[in-house]
Amino acid sequence: MSNTPYPQSYYAASANPVPPRPALQGEVETDVCIIGAGYTGLSSALFLLENGFKVTVVEAAKVGFGASGRNGGQIVNSYSRDIDVIERTVGPKEAQLLGQMAFEGGRIIRERVAKYNIQCDLKDGGVFAALTSKQMGHLESQKRLWERFGHTQLELMDQKRIREVVACDSYVGGMLDMSGGHIHPLNLALGEAAAVESLGGVIYEQTPAVRIERGANPVVHTPQGKVKAKFIIVAGNAYLGNLVPELAAKSMPCGTQVITTEPLGEDLARSLLPQDYCVEDCNYLLDYYRLTGDKRLIFGGGVVYGARDPANIEAIIRPKMLKAFPQLKDVKIDFAWTGNFLLTLSRLPQVGRIGDNIYYSQGCSGHGVTYTHLAGKVLAEALRGQAERFDAFAGLPHYPFPGGQMFRVPFSAIGAWYYSLRDRLGF
């Protein structure tokens, strides 16, 4: 039996200790079988267990092995597409519902951390940094838009004000969201997994779902066992492969890379980000960064369409970091890794049901730390028969990528090149 380890990330090196979890051997019965122990799977498991369901999670590798244990750790509210785009796509009624939910995921994370005493270096405050006046104008309209849906805690920052929170001279202004923030993502996932087990949920690691037997009584087959369930939740996201072929056609795994410096020490760290907020810029292919609990800088950026692993991650990301912070030129990089997120053409999550009993949520297209926590709640509501919020997501239309399986990667890369050129030229 395979034993897939975590990638060699800063998060794996600083993970809280956890007991080993067995692989599934033999046959078990449950109410809900969840495929994948990232945030989508774990959040679903927690809400379901809190509502009296019996839950079994099968994870191909380890808890948080996917994007949930590798991401930038930024609690970014809302979705990867603005609500006005959603409104134009699905109309005002559904947009109202989705707009109201746009900041709920961040609240769920904080509730989970408090309720289950999860040690994950939670910090408040996230900054969207504008590199051009056009981007600043976009943030101003985004603030007005979010306020229409009741999210009023946002502060616009001019050039002088943003310089007080981030020591980078590239920004013309920005927006501060104090309901954003950051976490140690793997420790959040591990804490949520422990919470699942404390409520009687069972998690099998090194247990890939290799086949789903559909029908009135669905069965998830694994290499050495099977799970008979009333419902299945598919939460494998960019690591799912072709287990559910109808999902794979309308989504594309993409890689993004992250580096972590050596510890900077209190003074240097505070000089970069005095209030310890996290930052992401407003470019199409954006840079994102923050401090860790032990005062390293975590810096991420770039996208590899089709999720190939780049040979030298440091060579790609370090120049971006030095462009933002030239003062780090002598600082050593201790960790560099890549992770996959799932892109949809609309950049909106792909949510729905296959038949009566197989549910899925995936494809939040880059910003998923908050959405996946919300998704768990919305999926659990649907399984309890309250599907209004689930239906709002399930009604979002999805389309195959242009170019089909063969050409979707180069076509998307050309599209991204075009948009990042516009960013560089300030259009």
Ligand X SMILES: Cc1cc2nc3c(=O)[nH]c(=O)nc-3n(C[C@H](O)[C@H](O)[C@H](O)COP(=O)(O)OP(=O)(O)OC[C@H]3O[C@@H](n4cnc5c(N)ncnc54)[C@H](O)[C@@H]3O)c2cc1C
- Applying CB under 6 A, which residues contact ligand X? 35-41, 58-61, 65-68, 70-74, 76, 208-209, 235-240, 243, 256, 258, 288, 300, 339-341, 362, 364, 366-369, 372
In the chain, what's the furthest Cα-to-Cα distance? Answer: 63
For ligand X, the closer of residues 116 and 134 by Cβ is: 116
For ligand X, the closer of residues 99 and 185 by Cβ is: 185
Q: Looking at 10-132, list the stretches that DSSP marks H as alpha helix, in order from N- to C-terminal side.
A: 10-13, 39-50, 83-90, 92-101, 104-115
For ligand X, the closer of residues 134 and 354 by Cβ is: 354
User: Which long-range contacts does 413-416 make (Cβ < 8 Å, 24+ apart)?
Assistant: 413/305, 416/284, 416/285, 416/303, 416/305
| Strand residue runs (E) in 171-272 | 173-182, 202-204, 211-213, 219-222, 225-234, 252-261
3-state DSSP call for residue 26?
strand
For ligand X, the closer of residues 178 and 421 by Cβ is: 178
Task: Using CB positions, name the residue nearest to ligand X.
Answer: 368
For ligand X, the closer of residues 95 and 303 by Cβ is: 303
Beta-carbon neighbour count of residue 114 at 10 Å? 10
Q: How far is the CB of 172 from ligand X (least distance, A)?
A: 23
Q: How far is the CB of 379 from ligand X (least distance, A)?
A: 11
Q: Are strands 297-305 and 252-261 parallel, antiparallel or unpaired?
A: antiparallel
Q: How far is the CB of 61 from ligand X (least distance, A)?
A: 5
For ligand X, the closer of residues 16 and 133 by Cβ is: 16
For ligand X, the closer of residues 171 and 341 by Cβ is: 341
Q: How far is the CB of 70 from ligand X (least distance, A)?
A: 5
Q: How far is the CB of 425 from ligand X (least distance, A)?
A: 26
Alpha-carbon span 390 to 259, nearest angstrom: 36
Alpha-carbon span 117 to 104, nearest angstrom: 20
3-state DSSP call for residue 426?
coil
Q: How far is the CB of 372 from ligand X (least distance, A)?
A: 4
Q: How far is the CB of 177 from ligand X (least distance, A)?
A: 12
Distances (CA, A) of 162 to 147, 268, 283, 285: 21, 18, 17, 21
Centroid of chain to Cα 115: 21
Q: How far is the CB of 125 from ligand X (least distance, A)?
A: 14
For ligand X, the closer of residues 201 and 208 by Cβ is: 208
The torsion angles phi and psi of 31, rounded to 5 degrees, stand at -80, -50
Distances (CA, A) of 427 to 44, 283, 422: 41, 11, 5
Helices 133-148 and 83-90, packing angle to 10 deg: 60
